C-alpha cells in the first residue's frame, strides 16, 4: 500500500509528463480497439445485408459474381434466367416464397431493380429488418418508382418527382427511357445496405420501359425479353432454352406432373398451378431469391438447381457466399491490425523513454528514499508500479475515447458511408488487447527499475556536472 501511495504521489508531482504519457498510450489503445470495433461492425453490417434468404439463384456462373451483382449491385451478372424457369422453381413444394430480380437499368449510376411486392414482404437485413417506406408508399403501378434514401438525398428527389431511367448501368443521355418516365411514390427507410442506393420498379414497369427497343441491345445482359444473351465470340444470339409450355388449370382436371428437373419431396403437396399475374409477360430475370419452408431443404434445393437439366443455374447459400467473400478481402483486416499494433508499440516505447529519461532527474528522490530505509527492491517495484498505472489508465482512457467517438460518429458513418457500426460491449479480443497493453506497460517499467535497482545510495547523493 505504501508503494502504491508513493507511486501515485510521484505521478501527481510530474503531472505534465504523466498526462502526456497517458495520452500517448490512450491514443494507441483507442486506435487498436477502435480498428477492431469498426472491423467487427463492418463485418456484421456486411453479413447483415441479407438475412432470412435461403438461396440466391441466377444463371450459371461464379458464386461471388452472383452475390455481388444481385445483392450488392456490383459488376455484371453471368446471364439471365428464363421466367418459365423461375415459375417452375417457385412452385417447388419446398419453396415458401421467391423474389424475382431484374437488373440492367440505372439512374445516374444507381441500380434500378425490377421486382414485385414480394421483395418488400420477404427481404430482410440485419436483425429482422424489413424494407419499408419512410415517406409515401410502396409500388402500386407500373409507372411507380420507390427510391433508397441515398438516391433521394443525392439527387434531391421527393414524392411526386419524375425520374427518367437509363438503359444500361453507366452514363446518362445515351439510352434514356424518356418516353417512359416514372414517378417517385415512396422513399425507403435507411437500411445501411445497397437498398439505400437503389431504385425499385415493378416488372411491368421494366417491360413497359423497354417497349419497342430492339432485341439486340448492346446492353443486352439481363434485359427482359428484349436482349437475348450473346455467347462470347459469337455474333449470333445464343439459342434460348426450350421454354416450358404455359400451365393452365382446367376445371376438374388433375394437377400436371412435376416439371423436368424438379424432384418432388416425399409427402409434399402438389404444386400450385396458374394464378401467376406475370405468367404472360415472358420476363427474363437476373436472379431470384428464395426462402424455403424448412431450412434443411436448402441444401437439397441447391443441389437440384445446380444440376437443373432444363436451364443451367447457379444456386448459392448467402451466408456461405458472404463468408467466402469476407475471407477474400480479409487481407485488409490483417494490414489494419499490423498498423495499429505498430502504433501501440510506438506508444509503449514512448512511455519507456519518458520513464527512463525522468529516472536521471529522480536520482536524488531515489537516494532520499533509500536513506529513509527503502530497499532497492521497493525502489524497483515503485517504478514498475508507476509504469503499470500509466498503462492501465491509458488503456481505460483509450476505451472511453473509442466509445465516445462511436457515439458521435455512428450516425455520421451510417449517413455518409452507409456503414452501420453497432455499439456493443468489448469482446474477448478487445479485453485481450487491453490486458496485453497493461502487461506490456509493466514489462516496459522493468527497464528503468533494473537501472534504479543497481544504483547505489551514493550515486544519488553525488552531484554530477
pLDDT digits (tens, 9 = 90+) for 84-94: 999 999 999 99
CB 315 within 8 A of CB 56: yes
- Tell whether the model's pLDDT for residue 14 goes beyond 70: yes
Residues 6 or more apart whose CB falls under 8 angstroms from that of 228 comprise 215, 216, 220, 237, 238, 240
**Averaged pLDDT of the chain:** 77
* pLDDT bucket at 277, cuts 50 / 70 / 90: very low
Residue 88 DSSP SS3 = helix
- Nearest partner of 33 among 440, 420, 419, 426, judged by Cα: 426
Q: What is the secondary structure of 216-239 as a DSSP string?
A: T-TT-TT-TTTS--B-TT-SSBPP
Q: What is the mean pLDDT of residues 233-246?
A: 41
**DSSP per residue over 143-173, as a string?**
TEEEE-HHHHHHTT--TT-EE--EESSS-SS
Give the confidence band of 461 by pLDDT, cuts at 50, 70, 90.
low
The per-residue b/e assignment along 220-251, b for 16 or more CB within 10 angstroms, e otherwise, is: bbbbbbbbbbbeeeeeeeeeeeeebeebeeee
Position 183 scores a pLDDT of 93
Q: 363-375 as b/e, with b when 16 or more CB fall inside 10 Å? A: bebbbebbeeebe
Q: What is the pLDDT of residue 199?
A: 94
Lowest-confidence range among 43-52, 110-119, 233-242, 428-437?
A: 233-242
Neighbouring CB atoms inside 10 A of 427's CB total 12
Cell, residue 144: 411507380
Range with the lowest mean pLDDT among 35-49, 347-361, 387-401?
Answer: 347-361
Amino acid at each position: 500500500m505504501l508503494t502504491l501511495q508513493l507511486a501515485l504521489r510521484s505521478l501527481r508531482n510530474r503531472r505534465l509528463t504523466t498526462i502526456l504519457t497517458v495520452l500517448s498510450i490512450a491514443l494507441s489503445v483507442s486506435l487498436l480497439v477502435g480498428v477492431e470495433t469498426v472491423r467487427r461492425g463492418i463485418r456484421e453490417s456486411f453479413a447483415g445485408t441479407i438475412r432470412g434468404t435461403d438461396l440466391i439463384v441466377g444463371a450459371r456462373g461464379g458464386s461471388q459474381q452472383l452475390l455481388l451483382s444481385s445483392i450488392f449491385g456490383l459488376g455484371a451478372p453471368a446471364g439471365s434466367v428464363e421466367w418459365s424457369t423461375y415459375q417452375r422453381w417457385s412452385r417447388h413444394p419446398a419453396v415458401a416464397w421467391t423474389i424475382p430480380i431484374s437488373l440492367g437499368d440505372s439512374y445516374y449510376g444507381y441500380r434500378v431493380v425490377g421486382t414485385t411486392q414480394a421483395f418488400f414482404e420477404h427481404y430482410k437485413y440485419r436483425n429482422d429488418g424489413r424494407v419499408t417506406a419512410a415517406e409515401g408508399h410502396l409500388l402500386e403501378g407500373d409507372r411507380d418508382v420507390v427510391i433508397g434514401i441515398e438516391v433521394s438525398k443525392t439527387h434531391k428527389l421527393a414524392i411526386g418527382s419524375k425520374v427518367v431511367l437509363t438503359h444500361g448501368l453507366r452514363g446518362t443521355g445515351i439510352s434514356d427511357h424518356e418516353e417512359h418516365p416514372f414517378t417517385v411514390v415512396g422513399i425507403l427507410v435507411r437500411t445501411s445496405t445497397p437498398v439505400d442506393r437503389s431504385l425499385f420498379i415493378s416488372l411491368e414497369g421494366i417491360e413497359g420501359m423497354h417497349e419497342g427497343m430492339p432485341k439486340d441491345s448492346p446492353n443486352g445482359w439481363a434485359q427482359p425479353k428484349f436482349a437475348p444473351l450473346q455467347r462470347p465470340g459469337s455474333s449470333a444470339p445464343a439459342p434460348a432454352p426450350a421454354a416450358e409450355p404455359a400451365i393452365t388449370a382446367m376445371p376438374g382436371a388433375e394437377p400436371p406432373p412435376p416439371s423436368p428437373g424438379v424432384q418432388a419431396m416425399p409427402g409434399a403437396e402438389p404444386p400450385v398451378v396458374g394464378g401467376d399475374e406475370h405468367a404472360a409477360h415472358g420476363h427474363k430475370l437476373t436472379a431470384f431469391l428464395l426462402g424455403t419452408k424448412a431450412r434443411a431443404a436448402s441444401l437439397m434445393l441447391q443441389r437440384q438447381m445446380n444440376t437443373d437439366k432444363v436451364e443451367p443455374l447457379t444456386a448459392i447459400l448467402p451466408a456461405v457466399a458472404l463468408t467466402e467473400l469476407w475471407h477474400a478481402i480479409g487481407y485488409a483486416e490483417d494490414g489494419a491490425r499490423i498498423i495499429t499494433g505498430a502504433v501501440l508499440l510506438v506508444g509503449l516505447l514512448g512511455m519507456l523513454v519518458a520513464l527512463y529519461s525522468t529516472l536521471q532527474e529522480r536520482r536524488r528522490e531515489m537516494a532520499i528514499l533509500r536513506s529513509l530505509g527503502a530497499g532497492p527492491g521497493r525502489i524497483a517495484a515503485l517504478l514498475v508500479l508507476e509504469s503499470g498505472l500509466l498503462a492501465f489508465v491509458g488503456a481505460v482512457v483509450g476505451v472511453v475515447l473509442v466509445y465516445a467517438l462511436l457515439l458521435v460518429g455512428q450516425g455520421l458513418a451510417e449517413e455518409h458511408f452507409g456503414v452501420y457500426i453497432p455499439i456493443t460491449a468489448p469482446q474477448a479480443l478487445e479485453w485481450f488487447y487491453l490486458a496485453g497493453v497493461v502487461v506490456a506497460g509493466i514489462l516496459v517499467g522493468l527497464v528503468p527499475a533494473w537501472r534504479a535497482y543497481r544504483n547505489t545510495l551514493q550515486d544519488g547523493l553525488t552531484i554530477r556536472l
